[in-house]
Amino acid sequence: MRIDIITVLPEMIERTLNCSIIGRAQERGLLELRLHQLRDYSTDKWKRVDDYPFGGEPGMVMQIEPIDRIITELKSEREYDDVIYTSPDGQKFDQPMANELSLLSNIIILCGHYKGIDYRIREHLITREISIGDYVLTGGELAAAVMTDAIARLIPGVLNDAGSALSDTFQDNLLAPPIYTRPAEYKGWRVPDVLLSGHEANIAKWRMEQALERTKRLRPDLLED
Ligand code: ADE
């Protein structure tokens, strides 16, 4: 899968996504992540990509020209399944959306900044607007990094244990059950006996009960779906 991210702060995303599992996924060729400095597409001698809004609103707006230029260039090189804009008023990002996006071949993510982007970009160039939550960040870079991480770990081969992503919290609208490792007892705090029993059916039943109980207690909204 290839993800092209358009941003004025590529270094902010690079540091996050070039290490650990997602960094290794890139080294192994499972994820091709390309970061594009939007300022390189500005014709302004100061490399500016924003301007004052029409109508006298406070704040600055990202201009259409540099964004159109880079998106047009990328689209001339390959087909893109989606051109995503990160915005607090977009559709809320969740696990089903990460699953869906991980099946695509090529996506562009445009990171918003300042007061936002010229609305014509949203009308004519963007195919999907995504928010990572009901709060406002200083820019879309962290949102793009969060989405890329959640999407990329679902690409086959990225996680060592193929079953691991399937048992994640949210994959079946349930929170994951508790997990433990050695020692079986620490300061008198014991791992549940059933997990040490080796009885697979009982362990599976216990896990399901725990997942349901935790979901009911902590995220009852997930069970309403
Ligand atoms: N940009 C600023 N806030 C954001 C959010 N919550 N989600 C996505 N992009 C954003």
Protein residue with its CA nearest to atom 10 in ligand 1: 87
pLDDT in tens, 130-149: 999 999 999 999 999 999 99
Which atom of ligand 1 lies nearest, measured to the CA of 132? 7
Ligand 1 closest atom vs CA 138: 2
User: For ligand 1, what atom is nearest to the CA of residue 133?
Assistant: 6
Burial code of 171-209, b = ≥16 C-beta within 10 A, e = fewer?
eebbbbbeeeeeeeeeeeeebeeebeeeeeeebeebbee
Output the ligand 1 site: residues, CB below 6 A.
Answer: 86-88, 112, 131-133, 135-137, 140, 143
User: pLDDT band at 169, cuts 50/70/90?
Assistant: confident
Start-end of CATH 1.10.1270.20 domains in the chain: 172-224
- The CATH H-level (homologous superfamily) assignment of domain 172-224 is tRNA(m1g37)methyltransferase, domain 2 (1.10.1270.20)
Asked whether 114 and 52 are in contact (CB, 8 A), the reply is no
Q: Residue 142: what pLDDT? A: 97
- Mean per-residue pLDDT over the chain, rounded: 95
The answer for residues whose C-beta is within 8 angstroms of residue 126's C-beta and 6 or more apart is 83, 84, 85, 110
Identity of the residue numbered 134:
D
User: Where, residue-wise, is CATH 3.40.1280.10 in the chain?
Assistant: 2-152
Distance CA 26, CA 141 (A): 19
For residue 162, pLDDT beyond 70: no
Q: Does residue 164 carry a pLDDT above 80?
A: no
- In one-letter notation, the amino acid at residue 131 is S
How many whole angstroms from 93 Cα to the centroid of ligand 1? Answer: 10
What is residue 101's predicted lDDT score, i.e. its pLDDT? Answer: 98
Pick from 94, 135, 138, 149 the residue to mutate for probing ligand 1's pocket: most ligand atoms within 8 Å of its CB. Answer: 135
* Best residue among 130, 136, 138 to mutate for probing ligand 1, ranked by most atoms within 8 Å of CB: 136
- Give distance in angstroms: CA of 122 to centre of ligand 1: 15
| pLDDT above 90 (res 192) | yes
What are 67-123's pLDDT values in tens digits?
A: 999 999 999 999 999 999 999 999 999 999 999 999 999 999 999 987 899 999 999
Q: Give me the amino acid identity at 193.
A: D
Mean pLDDT across the stretch 178-184?
A: 97
CA distance 187 to 17: 37
Residue 2 forms beta bridges with which residues? 32, 106
Report if pTM > 0.85.
Answer: yes
The domain made up of 2-152 is a member of CATH 3.40.640.10: no
How far apart are the CA of 137 and the centre of ligand 1, in A? 5
Ligand 1, atom 2: closest residue by C-alpha: 137
The rounded distance, in Å, linking the Cα atoms of 51 and 65 is 11
H or E segment to which residue 17 belongs: helix 10-17
**What residues form the annotated binding site for S-adenosyl-L-methionine?**
112, 132-137
Strand order in the sheet with 106-111: 32-37, 2-7, 106-111, 82-92, 128-131
